[in-house]
A = this chain, B = another copy of it.
Amino acid sequence: MAACEMKGFLSFLVLWLVSREKMSGAEIALELKKRKGSKPSPGTIYPVLKYLKDKGLVQIDSNKRYSLTKKGGKELDAHIKTFFETFCDLDEMKECCRK
């Protein structure tokens, strides 16, 4: 238990990425690889996209590119707010990182 793998932010990250520009599933996976180092498997990324779509947070166009819906925008805003409240001392954390 409690292996400190820092799971749990995939949906949040996907919402964030898609809010910035339309992206396909493959593009999202690539961007996540850039950031986290490991590329999420298809079995990881597509279920998340389906979940977000079913929940009405993202929409998919004819080219299979995902973008944020209005509802998704509100949800993302709320998540970002929580995120920055939870990590309210990011500056200090970043400072610590440079040592």
Contact = CB atoms under 8 A, between A and B. Distances in A.
Interface of A: 1-13, 15-16, 19-20, 35-37, 47-48, 51-52, 75, 77, 79-88, 90, 92-94, 96-97
If over half of A's interface residues share one DSSP class (helix, strand or loop), that class is named, otherwise mixed; here it is helix
Given A5-B8, A9-B86, A86-B13, A80 B51 contact: no
Contact of A35 (B12, B48, B52, B88): B88
Contact of A85 (B1, B3, B36): B36
Contacts of A19: 96
B7 A8 contact: yes
12 contacts: A1-B47, A2-B47, A2-B48, A6-B8, A6-B12, A6-B82, A6-B83, A9-B86, A13-B86, A35-B85, A80-B97, A84-B93
A94 to B, nearest CB: 6
